[in-house]
Amino acid sequence: MNQDNRDARFDAAMRQLHGVATERISGRTRLQLQQPARTASAARPAMHRFGWPLAASFAAVLALMVGLQLQHDPAPLPAAPATANAVADNSDDIDAVLDENPDLYLWLASNDAYALAME
């Protein structure tokens, strides 16, 4: 409760200092501070004039590109039977090696394999 009271007093003191400071600002300074806001608000409609049409045209172009990609059917790739057989033979060889030497699995589970992998 004491902390809340301190926060409220601090907030009130800062609001009072802000009010005093804004009262002491000269008219010329206030005019200079307000002028950029006025010019920015005056220039804003010119920038937004092209915003929606530009966004709509970008969306239309994007939709057209997606539609063309979906419409385009890629030509079937020629099959390479020699490569497919080599891969099948290679996997058969690996299976045969692993079946012949079951100690490999024991070694993979050992601490030596873990230490080698961490190096």
Residues 8 and 32 both lie in one domain: yes
Look at 42 and 65; give whichever has higher pLDDT: 65
Residues 52 and 89 in one domain: no
Angstrom distances, CA of residue 114 to CA of 18, 52, 94, 101:
67, 60, 22, 19
**Is residue 54 over pLDDT 80?**
yes
Residue 82 tokens read as 């020699």
Considering the domain architecture, whether residues 4 and 54 belong to the same structural domain is answered as yes
What pTM, to 2 d.p., does this model score?
0.29
Kindly state whether residues 17 and 44 are assigned to the same domain: yes
1/47 same-domain check: yes
State in Å, rounded, how far the first CA of the chain is from the last one: 59
| Residue 47 pLDDT grade (very low, low, confident, very high; cuts 50, 70, 90) | low
Helix, strand, coil in percent for the chain, rounding step 5: 85, 0, 15
